[in-house]
Amino acid sequence: MSVNVSDYLKPLQKTTIEEKLFHTVRKIDSQTHIKVDSHICQDKCAPKYCTNACPAIVYSVEQSTQETKSSFENCVECGTCIVACPYEAIDWVYPRGGFGVQYKYG
């Protein structure tokens, strides 16, 4: 049996974040585990760091009111939003027991 070295030297395929998130399973709770203090966001945070930092696109800004909204159902529980928000406007905790994200690989 001969081994073809060129098979091992093929470039790796790049995987997008969307493809990686597809492999997660979520058990959605009826209660949110994320609370955003919109007043702090509107008054102090023009760049809206959480909207750029979150890999799962949990945070969005309503254009008419500039209010920061969260879609807790998309959360992958990485905690990036807590680190990204310099004003501590995000109150994030793990979902209640039995709820949240379950990773398929790893």
- Structural domains for the chain: 31-97 (3.30.70.20)
pTM: 0.75
Q: So what's the pLDDT on residue 21?
A: 75
Q: So what's the pLDDT on residue 15?
A: 79
105 SS3 class: coil
Q: In the chain, what's the furthest Cα-to-Cα distance?
A: 69
Q: So what's the pLDDT on residue 1?
A: 60
Between CA 74 and CA 27, with CA 68 as vertex, the angle to 5 degrees is 20
104 SS3 class: coil
**Strand pairing partners for 103?**
24
Q: Position of tokens 């493809």?
A: 19
Residues of the chain with pLDDT under 50: none
Q: Residue 72: which of 87, 59, 89, 61 has the closest Cα? A: 59
